[in-house]
Amino acid sequence: MRLPKPTRLRLYSQILFFTIFVWLLLCTEFRGSLRDSASEIRLPYPVGLFFQLDPLVALSNALAGHALYRGLLWCLLILVPTMFIGRFFCGWICPLGSIHHFFGSLKSERKRGKQLLESNRYKRWQTTKYYILAASVVAALLGTGIVGWIDPFSFLVRSLSMSVLPATNYGLQTALGLLEHSRLSFIRAVGGVLHFVSGSVLLSFKQPYFRQGIWLGLIFLFVLALNFRITRFWCRAICPLGALLGIVSRWSVLGLVKKPEHCNDCNRCLLRCQGGDDPVGGVPWHQPECHLCLNCVDECPERGLQFQFFPAQKTAGTNLQRRKVITGLAAGAALIPVMRSTPGFAAARHERLLRPPGSVDEEFFLSRCIRCGECMKVCPNNALQPASGEAGIEGLWTPVLVPRLGYCETSCVLCSQVCPTGAIWEITAKEKGWSVDVSSGIKPVRLGTAFYDRGRCLPWAMATDCIVCEEWCPTSPKAIYLRPAEVIDAAGNVKQVKQPYLDPSRCVGCGACEHACPVQDRPAVYVTSVGESRSRSNQILLNRRKA
Amino acid sequence: MTPKLLDVDANTLNRRDALIKLLRVAGASAGATGLAFWLSQHSIRPQAAVENAVKHGHTVPPSPTLPEMAIIHGEDPSLLARQAVEELGGMRRFVSRGDVVLVKPNIGWDRTPEQAANTNPDVVAAIVQQCLEVGAKRVIVTDVSCNEARRCFQRSGIAEAAQRVGAEVMLPDPSRFKDVDLQGEVVREWQVFEPFLNVDKVINLPIAKHHGLTGATLGMKNWYGMLGGQRNQLHQKIHESLVDLADFVRPTLTIIDCYRVLLRNGPTGGNLEDVAVKKMLVASTDPVAVDAYVANAIWNLGVDSLPYLQLAAKRGLGTYEFEKLRTQVKTLS
C-alpha cells in the first residue's frame, strides 16, 4: 500500500483540525442535559483548546502576567516542533489558515496567469507582520492584551460566534419556521426532521444577539475577500502568530532544497504557493514565510524541489529593516500611554463597565483579556456583549454584562471556565457565593450595585403594585426589600402598595432586577459597576468589603 | 433576418416583430398594473394572529362520596404523592386510557431541590408514573422558567427524575409560543407555550413558597409558568390575573408540594436556613380550597390577605372555605 501524496495528507490534516475547531466552537455553549441533575454545571469538552495551543496567546499572557495561566503550557506542542521544522502549524493545523487556503484557491479575475505567478512571489510587504508582532509584544510587555484584536483564533472565534453563527441561526430558524408552518403536511414533516437534525448540533436554544455583530462580520468578510487579490494575504502580511512562528523557526533543521539542474524556469511551483516564500529557481528560498504546504514539491514537473533535513543551501531570513522594527517597537510602546490617558482610567470609570464574575481588576483584565469572545459565546443568558465604548478604545470587544439583554445567572460560572487567559479567573459556583448557606462565610463575587429610578418605578411613581425586582433578587436574604406605603392614585384614592428599597451590602450586581423590570425601555432599577468586588477603589460603602 | 441593401428601414423591425414586441411589453405592464390594483385592495393593518379555538378547562366530573381534599404527612415524597392521589379516588379517576397529560411543576428557578424553590423531583416522578400506569398516552412535564430554562430543568433535578420514569420533558422552546385569547378580565391576548393548549388533562404541581407581594405563592400562581411575553406586568393586577389564568386552565387536579417549604426570601430562596421541612402534600380537585388551606396551615394567612381566593370563588372556580370540603387527613408511618 502506498501512502497518499504529502499534499493529500496535508489536506486531511487541515480538514481534521478545522472540524475539531468548529465542533469545539459549537460546544462552547451550555446546551443542558435532561439526563443529569448534577448541580455544578461545567462544559464537558476543552473548548479553549486552540487558544491553549497558540504560542502568541501564551507569550502575551506571560508578558502581561509574568506567568502562564492554566493550560497555556500546551502551546509548547506547537512552539517546539516549529523551532525544529518550521511553520507546519500555518499550513497543516491553523483553522483560519485553512479558511484562507480555501478562499485563496478559488478562481479570481485578479489572479490569472502571469498575475497569479507574480502575486505569489515574495514581497517586501510580507515583513509587515513582524512589525505588527514587535508592536504587540511591546504592548503586551507594558500590559495590554490588544494582540487579541488580530490573534488568528481570537479573530476567528470572535467573528464566527458574534456574527456568522448568530446570523446562521437566525436564517435557519426563519427557514425552518416557514417549512414548519406550511399548509402541506409533507413539507411540515421535512421541516420537523431538519429542525431536529440542526437543533442537536447547530441551532442555539435561544437566538443569540450581539451588538457590533455586523461590523465584526464585515471585517471578517473583508479579510476573506483579500484572498481574491493575494492568496492568504492575512497569513503573509498581518498574522502576528505567523510572524512569531516564522521567527522561532529561523534555525529550523528542515528546509526546501532546489536543484538548479532540474529547473527549467516553468514557474509552476509558484502556482499554488501559500506563503509567498519563493520556491522558484534563481532566488533564495524564504524559509520563515513557508507554511510547509508542499504544493511546490507536488507541482514541480521535473522533481526539482524537495524538503529535507539539514539542507546546505542558503536561505533568506525574515529580512527585517531596523528602522521599521524600531518604528514598530515605538508604536507598541506608545499605544498604552495614549490609550490610557483618558478619564476612564482616572476616577471616571464608565458606570456600565460590568465585568463577568471572576474578572480580575480592570488593569489586569485589560492586560489578560484577548477579546476572543469565548465568554460571550458561552453565556447562557446572552448577557455578555463586546464592549464598544464602556472600556475605552483599548477595551474594544472585551466582555461587558448588559443586564437588559440578560442578567448573570446565579450559579453559572461558565465564562470563567472558558476564559483562556485568566482575565476571568476560574471560579466555582460556590466561590461565586450567590446562593450558598450564609453560615459558609463566603464573600460573594459582586459585579456592581443596583439603584432605583423612583421616577419610573411603578409603586413609587405610579401607585401600582409590582416588585418583580424583589421576586427575582437571587441573594438570600434578598438585597431588595419591601416597605408597605400608602399612596394616592390619579383618582385621589388612597392605596396600599409595597415599595422596593435596596440594601447595598447584600446586592451582588447580577442584574436580574434590571432584566425583569417591566419598564421595558429604560428600567426603573439598573446596575452600575460601583461596589464590584474586583476593585479596591470603585466602592461606595466604607465597610461592605469586610462584611 | 438580413437587412436589404438600399432599404431605408434597414434599422427598423418589420411590422410582425414590432407587434410581438409591443404585445410583450403591453402584457407585462398590464400584469404589473393588475397586480398592483389587486394588492392595493388587500391592504390591511398588520396584526399578529391570535388563536381562539383552544381547550378551556380539564376538570373531571365531581364524585358525591370521595374526599375532595387529601392532606398526607410522611417521610417519603413519592409515597406521599401516591397516597394523595389514592385518597381522591386514584389516578384512574382523573386520567383515562389514551389521554395526553400535562404535568406542570414549578421549574422556575436555577436552584437545587434542597433549596425548595422548585417542586420536589420525586413528587413529579411519582405523579408521572401514576399517569402512565393508568394508560396515559403521553405525559408532558414542562414549565416556562424564570431563570435560564436549561439550568432550571437540570439543577432542579426534575428533568432527570421525570425522564427516568418515562415523561416527555419539554424545554420552553421560544419558537413554540402562540398568541392566544385567554378571555380573562385583565389577561386577554397573551403568549402561551403551545403544549398547554392541546392536552386532555392538566395536573398542577406547585410548591408552596413565600412571596413578597402576596405573602405566599401556591397553586394558582403556578399558571404564570405557561405564559411567555411580558408576564412581568401581571404583578400589577396580580389577584385578577391569577383568577383569569386559573379560569382558563381549570386543572384536573392540584397537588401542592409542602415537603420542603421556603418560609422567607421567596420565591427564589437559596438559603437553606429559610427552608422548613414540613413533609406534607395537599391534593384537591378544588384549586381554590387547596390554596386557601395551605396558606392558612403554613403562613396562617386568611382569605383577607389573599384576595384572589375570593375573586376565584366568585368566578365559580371553587371555594375558599376549605373546612367545608370532605377532607381526608392521613399520616404515613
Query: Which of left, alpha, beta for A397 (phi over 0: left; psi -120 to 50: alpha)?
Result: left
How far are the Cα atoms of A312, B169, B294 from residue B208, in angstroms, in the given order?
Answer: 82, 22, 8
Q: Please give the average per-residue pLDDT across A358-386, as a whole number.
A: 94
Contact A464 B236 (CB under 8 A): yes
pLDDT given for residue A545 in this prediction: 46
The minimum CA-CA distance between A147 and chain B, rounded to whole Å, is 34
Based on the fold, state whether residues A505 and A395 are members of the same structural domain: yes
- pLDDT for position B4: 56
Average pLDDT over residues A256-280: 90
CA distance to partner chain A, nearest, from residue B199 (Å): 20
Domain-located, residue B20: no
Q: Is A402 inside a domain boundary?
A: yes
Q: Which three cell numbers stand for residue B274?
A: 429559610
- Is residue A476 within 8 angstroms of chain B, CB to CB? yes
Is the pLDDT at A208 greater than 50? The verdict is yes
Judge whether residue A438 has pLDDT over 60. Answer: no
At A322-341, the pLDDT tens digits run: 888 899 899 888 888 888 88
Residue B29 lies in a domain: no
Say what percent of chain A tops pLDDT 70: 97
Question: Which A residues 365-394 touch B at CB under 8 Å?
Answer: 380-381
Is residue A547 predicted with pLDDT exceeding 50?
no
- Average pLDDT of A192-216? 88
Q: Are residues A388 and A241 in the same domain?
A: no
Q: Mean pLDDT, to the nearest integer, of B27-31?
A: 97
Check whether B286 has a pLDDT greater than 60: yes
A181 domain residue, yes or no: no
From the list A366, A373, A361, A372, the residue with the least C-alpha distance to A335 is: A366
Q: For chain B, say whether A115 makes contact (Cβ under 8 Å).
A: no
Is residue B126 predicted with pLDDT exceeding 70?
yes
pLDDT value, residue B278: 94
- Flag whether residue A200 sits within 8 Å of chain B, measured between CB atoms: no
Contact A520 B163 (CB under 8 A): no
- Provide the shortest C-alpha distance from residue B211 to chain A (in Å): 7
Q: Write the single-letter amino acid at A213.
A: G
Total domains, chain A: 2
Residue B230: pLDDT over 50: yes
Q: Residue A262: name the closest of A309, A215, A296 by CA.
A: A296
Contact B137, B99 (CB under 8 A): yes
Residues A381 and A521 both lie in one domain = yes
Cα–Cα distance for residue pair B331/A414, rounded to 1 Å: 44
DSSP alpha helices (H): ranges in A369-433? 374-378, 414-418, 429-432
Instruction: Using DSSP, state whether B34 is helix, strand or coil.
Output: helix
Do A250 and A357 reside in the same domain of the chain?
no
The answer to whether the Cβ–Cβ distance between B151 and A41 falls below 8 Å is yes
* pLDDT single digits (tens) A464-501: 999 999 999 999 889 999 999 999 999 999 999 999 99
What ipTM was assigned to the predicted interfaces of this complex? 0.87
HSE toward the beta carbon, residue A148, CA cutoff 13 A: 34
Domain that holds residue A61: 9-29+41-109+126-156+221-254
**Euclidean distance between CA atoms A217 and B88, whole angstroms:** 61
Indicate whether B1 belongs to any domain: no
d(CA A21, CA B147): 30
Q: What are phi and psi of A218, to 5 degrees?
A: -65, -40
Q: Which of B155, B232, B235 sits opposite A411 (nearest CB)?
A: B155
What is the CATH number for B107? 3.40.50.11440
Q: What is the pLDDT of residue A66?
A: 86
In this prediction, residue A134 has a pLDDT band, given cuts at 50, 70 and 90, of very high
pLDDT in tens, A291-318: 999 999 999 998 889 898 998 888 888 8
Query: Residue A546 has what pLDDT?
Result: 43
Which residues are within 8 A (CB) of B287 and not within 5 positions of it... i.e. 6 or more apart?
A: B204, B219, B220, B246, B250, B251, B254, B312, B317, B318
Tell me which residue range forms the domain holding B277.
69-331
For B262, the grid coordinates are: 421556603
pLDDT at A103: 95
Interface contact B110-A411, CB threshold 8 A: yes
Instruction: Give the model's pLDDT for residue B9.
Output: 64
Residue B264 lies in a domain: yes
Residue B113 backbone class (left: φ over 0; alpha: ψ -120 to 50; beta: rest): alpha
pLDDT band at A211 (very low <50, low <70, confident <90, very high): very high
Task: For residue B211, list chain A residues with Cβ-Cβ distance below 8 A.
Answer: 471
* pLDDT at res. A43: 86
- Rounded CA-CA distance A131/A135 in Å is 6
d(CA B115, CA A335): 50
Please count the CA atoms within 13 angstroms of the CA of B13 that sit on its side-chain side. Answer: 8
Rounded to whole angstroms, the Cα distance separating A226 from A454 reads 53
What's the domain count of chain B?
A: 1
Q: Is residue B47 part of a domain?
A: no
Question: Is 90 exceeded by the pLDDT of residue A434?
Answer: no
Burial of A147 (0-12, 13-18, 19+ CB in 10 A): buried
Indicate if the pLDDT at residue B125 is higher than 70: yes
E strands, B162-318, in order: 168-170, 177-181, 189-193, 201-205, 207-211, 215-217, 253-262, 275-284
Mutation to test the B interface, candidates A29, A33, A34, most B Cβ within 10 Å: A34
Q: What is the pLDDT of residue B55?
A: 62
Q: Of chain A residues 490-519, which have a CB less than 8 A from chain B?
A: 498, 516-518
Chain A positions touching B236 (Cβ under 8 A) are: 458, 464-466, 518
Domain presence at residue B130:
yes
Interface test with B, best of A172, A476, A519 (most B CBs within 10 A): A476
Buried b (16+ CB within 10 A) or exposed e, A10-47: bbeebeebbeebeebbbbbbbebebeebebebebeeeb
DSSP structure string for A214-268? HHHHHHHHHHHHGGGTSTTHIIIII-HHHHHHHHHGGG-SEEEEE-TTT--S--G
| Nearest CB partner across the interface for A476, out of B150, B156, B271 | B271
pLDDT digits (tens, 9 = 90+) for A493-524: 999 999 999 999 889 999 999 999 999 999 99
Is B110 close to A473, i.e. CB distance below 8 A? no
Interface residues from chain B to A (CB-CB < 8 Å): 110-112, 115, 121, 146-151, 153-157, 159-161, 163, 169, 171, 173-175, 211-213, 230, 232-233, 235-238, 264-265, 267-274
DSSP letter (8 states) at residue B137: S
Q: Which residues in chain A are contacts of B264 at CB distance < 8 A?
A: 477
pLDDT band at B7 (very low <50, low <70, confident <90, very high): low
Residue A323 located in a structural domain: no
Does residue A320 register a pLDDT over 60? Answer: yes
